[in-house]
């Protein structure tokens, strides 16, 4: 099933949006598809790939044109992440996290911060990383302990950040530290140059899936940054981090859609080709009904995600819609990745077919950028308030 044909039937896209999706699909097929099996097997972070994706404009999708970016809207961005995720979920999350930090700098950064980072991010010279989670502070982000002590015209950063996406290859990390007090109001955001003394990769995390995505624990030991490295006002860092994660949920929903779309394509192909009891297995309802449900849930996930993206593009509130999109898309990606393995039978459990990779990759979409439980809290509170 052609992805573009399916989209045309379900959502009206502009020519520009279609063009960005087409570029992402062509780039993924040319630059990723021939190598992904080996990259996944060897846990390779393909750093050179991101220079090639830059040439297609994919690293600067959310960067304003005056800084060398594409200034794409969120619908186009979601289409591009989906196409990357369909070939490799690890690449999709690398670009998604990079893009959400580009968006944060473009929206919240000072002119000096924009001048310093945005063009380099758009050209792929620098990859952006994100540092919020700590060993004792995950979903409860207001409990972070990493500190930023003011010292004249600088801050001195100390602490540990866990599960930093892109952290081992990032030139700049958007990281949150406590500047005073307790709770959410005492946290500030910083753009930390990873080349500074005291920024150390302590551990590279080995994961179930998304093997091409780099995930590390970062140590910040007496890292001195100028006060101008603070992103936004002091004490507003958690609000900024959560707003960044809200935007990122559109990207993760799109990543999950890419995985789900890949599962559908693989399942349709296998169901047509695999013969049992004298006919293709797709002729049996036990298989065909799985595929029908997979296709239906794919369309539903797309529509939820496109709605959230369209609201974001229009500058309207979209937090609840982004949570619904991420919750549904990630759940269905995980469920149908399992079904894709089941459709393939014993073959699905081998590395000979990619559905085992989709199965491993799908689970993380229910966890990062806010777990499914966090999304349910956001949705429930929009209806019930804080009871």
| Catalytic residue set | 369
Q: Helical H runs in the chain?
A: 3-10, 15-31, 36-42, 49-55, 74-87, 89-108, 111-122, 237-273, 285-313, 319-344, 355-362, 372-384
Q: In this structure, what are the phi and psi dihedrals at residue 265, rounded to the nearest 5 degrees?
A: -60, -45
Select from 260, 259, 261, 284 the least CA-distant residue to 271.
284
Alpha-carbon 16 to chain mean position: 22
| CB of 21 closer than 8 Å to CB of 79 | yes
Tokens at residue 26, please?
Answer: 């062509």
* CA dist., res. 58 & res. 49, Å (int): 11
What pairing do the DSSP bridges indicate for beta strands 154-165 and 215-226? antiparallel
* CA dist., res. 72 & res. 293, Å (int): 32
Three-state SS at 265: helix
* CA dist., res. 152 & res. 181, Å (int): 19
Tokens at residue 316, please?
Answer: 């309207």
CB atoms within 10 A of CB 111: 7
Cα dihedral across residues 11, 14, 17, 22: positive or negative:
positive
* CA dist., res. 381 & res. 387, Å (int): 8
Select from 8, 11, 20 the least CA-distant residue to 308.
11
The dihedral formed by the CA atoms of 323, 251, 206 and 132, expressed in degrees to the nearest 10: -70
CB atoms within 10 A of CB 312: 23
Count CA atoms closer than 13 A to 214's CA, side-chain side. 19
Alpha-carbon 153 to chain mean position: 34
* CA dist., res. 111 & res. 376, Å (int): 37
């Amino acid at each position: 099933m052609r992805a573009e044909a399916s989209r045309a039937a379900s959502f009206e896209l502009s020519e520009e949006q279609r063009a960005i999706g087409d570029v992402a699909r062509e780039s993924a097929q040319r630059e990723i598809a021939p190598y992904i099996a080996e990259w996944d097997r060897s846990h390779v972070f393909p750093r050179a790939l991101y220079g090639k994706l830059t040439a297609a404009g994919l690293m600067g999708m959310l960067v304003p044109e005056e800084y060398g970016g594409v200034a794409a809207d969120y619908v186009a961005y979601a289409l591009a992440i989906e196409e990357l995720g369909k070939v490799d979920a690890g690449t999709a999350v690398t670009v998604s996290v990079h893009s959400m930090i580009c968006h944060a700098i473009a929206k919240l950064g000072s002119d000096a911060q924009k001048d310093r980072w945005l063009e380099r991010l758009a050209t792929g010279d620098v990859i952006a990383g994100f540092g919020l989670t700590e060993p004792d502070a995950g979903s409860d982000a207001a409990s972070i302990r990493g500190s930023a002590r003011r010292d004249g015209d600088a801050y001195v950063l100390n602490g540990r950040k866990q599960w930093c996406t892109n952290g081992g290859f990032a030139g700049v990390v958007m990281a949150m530290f406590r500047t005073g007090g307790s709770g959410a109001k005492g946290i500030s955001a910083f753009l930390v140059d990873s080349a500074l003394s005291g920024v150390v990769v302590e551990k590279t995390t080995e994961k179930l899936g998304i093997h091409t995505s780099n995930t590390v624990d970062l140590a910040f030991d007496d890292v001195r940054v100028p006060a101008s490295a603070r992103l936004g006002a002091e004490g507003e860092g958690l609000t900024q981090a959560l707003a960044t994660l809200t935007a990122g949920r559109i990207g993760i929903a799109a990543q999950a859609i890419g995985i789900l779309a890949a599962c559908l394509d693989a399942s349709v192909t296998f169901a047509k080709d695999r013969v049992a009891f004298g006919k293709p297995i797709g002729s049996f309802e036990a298989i065909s009904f799985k595929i029908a449900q997979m296709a239906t849930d794919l369309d539903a996930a797309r529509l939820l995600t496109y709605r959230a993206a369209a609201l974001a593009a229009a500058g309207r509130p979209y937090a609840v819609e982004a949570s619904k999109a991420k919750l549904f898309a990630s759940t269905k990606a995980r469920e149908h990745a399992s079904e894709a393995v089941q459709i393939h039978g014993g073959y699905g459990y081998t590395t000979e077919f990619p559905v085992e990779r989709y199965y491993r990759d799908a689970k993380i979409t229910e966890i990062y950028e806010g777990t499914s439980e966090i999304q349910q809290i956001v949705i429930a509170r929009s209806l019930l308030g804080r009871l």
